[in-house]
Amino acid sequence: MRSRRGPWCSASPSCATSGSSQRRDWCLRFGTVPSAERLPGNRAPKNPKTVAPSAPGGSAYRDEVLKWCAEAGLDAAGVAPAIPLERARAQIESRIEHDLVNGMKFTFWRPERSVRPDLLVEGARSIVVGARSYAHSDPPVEIDGPVARLARYAWIDHYGDLKRSLTEVAAQLRRDGHRATVFADDNSVVDREVAHLAGLGWYGKNANILVPTKGSMHVLGCLVTTADLPALPVVEDGCGACSRCIPACPTGAIVGPGVIDANRCLSWLLQKPGVFAPDHRVALGDRIYGCDDCQTACPVNKRETLREPPPGARAGIDVLALLSADDRALAEVSDTWWVHDRDMTWVRRNLLLVLGNTADPADRRVASVLTAHLAHEKSVVRAHAVWAAARLGLDELIEPLRSDTAPDVSAEFARLPALRHDL
């Protein structure tokens, strides 16, 4: 069960205020986010400090709330106490200390906030955690040319559906006299930890939450409420001796059970701005956003029955078409992804890497888009176009750039012998 962000993500003030839905591999809205009370569905009551003295609670009421969750379309739900997340804080501090974060921030940015769900709503007593499945079968892909693959959770806006479901439940809690605020795709709370404490599932060795019999292909969100709802029991570990997810990672980013090295994780590297790590470009293959390998290798996920793809689901991207498009068209296609500062430079960079890994160099369209990007105004784009052309053996295209003095481009030419050795 994953967030669009992943365990660590980059803060971006523009993301928080843009109003668009932005996604990460793992990863929702990144960086600084608006106050939860200002988000749609979190309208505060006229007197937010007052809770009806007769507001219901207890086990029977909790079961009623869980029934509302199912009726609102959540595929799994649970209840956790609104307490400090001490284990999550220790894990965050350890990851930072061991240099496993690689610039990602999100809940790692302000752990004193993200591990204190008890402070998000005054008088908070409980956290209702919900999950929506994205375990869908592959929709048809009919593209003439190289195709860039999207991670399954990014095929449609699953987080939008999740927020709507949680907002319905929050509204019913408010009608009963409680305060309730929704947090999904938000850096205010470590959602995997509250999901674990709410009894939704256990931590897999790939760091995702696995719902018993349903697997990890879910997006997570929660609502914090003043309602007194007894917590559900924590689910015990179900992985046992299985460790199939660890060798399944194409870059060896799972460095220990439940420990991800963001310096190697393709999901994060695709979102991180700057030059894409040279050592992991070939392993990237055809991925444009996210990576599902550690999930598809999991036996629990293999047992989950895949649903029909929802309307509008898109598993693949036409690489040549997008590289031929302007930034406005790129922004429309990537509207539900998390892109640093909404800068289409990073989308072009990723598309060029996929082009280099998958295109047919005999296709004249390939040389055309490469030529255009070798003349791009941004040196980081030119640099990745150099790599793609060299990987495809189109050396004649890059010769004119040998005089390019931009550091990014010079570094690519310096690495060409190593690239050719790898080939």
3-class DSSP assignment, residue 127: strand
Q: Which helix (H) or strand (E) holds 210?
A: strand 209-210
| Residues 148, 97 contacting (CB under 8 angstroms) | no
Q: Report how far residue 386's alpha carbon sits from residue 381's, in angstroms, rounded to the nearest whole number.
A: 9
| Residues 271, 23 contacting (CB under 8 angstroms) | no
Q: Report how far residue 267's alpha carbon sits from residue 247's, in angstroms, rounded to the nearest whole number.
A: 16
Q: Report how far residue 404's alpha carbon sits from residue 407's, in angstroms, rounded to the nearest whole number.
A: 9
Residue 37, token pair as written in the block = 């009370």
- The residue to which tokens 């993500």 are assigned: 9
Q: Which residues carry out catalysis?
A: 185
| Residues 244, 76 contacting (CB under 8 angstroms) | no
Q: Report how far residue 192's alpha carbon sits from residue 181's, in angstroms, rounded to the nearest whole number.
A: 18
Which of these, 324, 327, 343, 348, lies nearest to 276 by C-alpha position? 348
Q: Where are the alpha helices (DSSP H) in 289-422?
A: 293-296, 299-303, 319-323, 327-333, 345-358, 364-374, 379-391, 395-398, 407-422
- The residue to which tokens 């055309």 are assigned: 368
Phi, psi of 128 (to 5 degrees): -95, 120
Which residues, including other chains, have CB under 8 Å from residue 331's CB and lie 6 or more apart? 342, 344
Which of these, 71, 165, 181, 74, lies nearest to 126 by C-alpha position? 181
Half-sphere exposure of 42 (CA within 13 A, CB side): 19
**Count of CB atoms within 10 A of residue 337's CB?**
26
